[in-house]
Amino acid sequence: MKHKEHLIRKYLRPSKKMPTIWCAGCGIGIFMHALVRAIDRAGYGKDDVVMVSGSGCSSRIPIYLDFNTLHTTHGRALTFATGIKLAKPRLKVITIMGDGDAIAIGGNHLIHAAKRNIEIAAFVINNQVYGMTGGQCSPTTAHGTRTTSSPYGNLESAFDISRVVEAAGAAMVGRATVYHTPLLDRLIDMALHKKGFALVEVIAQCVTYSGRWLGLTSPADMMQWQRDNCVRVERAQGLSEEELAGKIVIGVLTNRERPTYNDEYRKLFAEVSKI
Partner 1 sequence: METLLLEGNEACVRGALAAGCRFYAGYPITPSTEIMEMMARELPKVGGMFIQMEDESASLGAVMGASLAGLKAMPATSGPGFSVMQEHIGFASMAEVPCVIAHVMRGGPSTGLPTQPSQADVMQAAWGTHGDHPIIVLAASSAYETYELTIKAFNLAERYRTPVILLSDAVVAHTREAVTLVQADMEIEERPQPTVSPEEFLAYGDPGNGVPPMPPFGEGYRYHVTGLCHDVRGFPTTRSDEVDFLLRRLLSKISRDSDRLQWFDCWHENSETMVIAYGCVARAALRAVREARDKGLDVGLMKLKVLWPFMSTTVSNVLENCRRVLVPEMNFGQVSREVERVNQGRCEIFTLNKVDGTAITPPEIVRKLEEMHP
Interface pick for ligand SF4 out of 7, 23, 63, 190 (rule CB under 6 A):
23
CB of 156 or CB of 234, closer to Mg ion: 156
Cα distance between residue 124 and residue 99, in whole Å: 6
Binding flag, residue 137, partner 1 (CB under 8 A): no
CB of 146 or CB of 186, closer to ligand SF4: 146
What DSSP string runs through the chain? -HHHHHHHHHHB--SS--S-SSPTT-SHHHHHHHHHHHHHHHT--GGGEEEEE-SSSGGGHHHHBSSEEEE-STT-HHHHHHHHHHH-TTSEEEEEEEHHIIIIITHHHHHHHHHHT-S-EEEEEE-SSBTTTTSB--TTSPTT--BTTBTT---SPPP-HHHHHHHHT-SEEEEEESS-HHHHHHHHHHHHH-SS-EEEEEE---TTTHHHHHT--SHHHHHHHHHHHEEEHHHHTTS-HHHHTT-EEEEEEEE-----HHHHHHHHHHHHHH-
Interacting partner of 99 out of ligand SF4, partner 1, Mg ion, none (Cβ under 5 to 8 A depending on kind): Mg ion
Cα distance between residue 35 and residue 27, in whole Å: 13
* Gyration radius of the chain over CA positions: 18
Interacting partner of 42 out of partner 1, ligand SF4, Mg ion, none (Cβ under 5 to 8 A depending on kind): none
Binding flag, residue 131, ligand SF4 (CB under 6 A): yes
Interface pick for partner 1 out of 1, 2, 15, 240 (rule CB under 8 A):
15
CB of 98 or CB of 174, closer to ligand TPP: 98
Interface pick for partner 1 out of 22, 31, 80, 225 (rule CB under 8 A):
80
Interacting partner of 34 out of Mg ion, ligand TPP, partner 1, none (Cβ under 5 to 8 A depending on kind): none
Residues that bind Mg ion (CB under 5 A): 98-99, 127, 131
Q: How far is the CB of 185 from partner 1 (least distance, A)?
A: 25
CB of 205 or CB of 260, closer to ligand TPP: 205
Site string for ligand SF4, 155-184 (x = CB under 6 A): ------------------------------
Site string for ligand SF4, 74-113 (x = CB under 6 A): ----------------------------------------
Residues within the interface to ligand SF4 (CB under 6 A) = 22-23, 26, 28, 57, 127, 131, 206-209
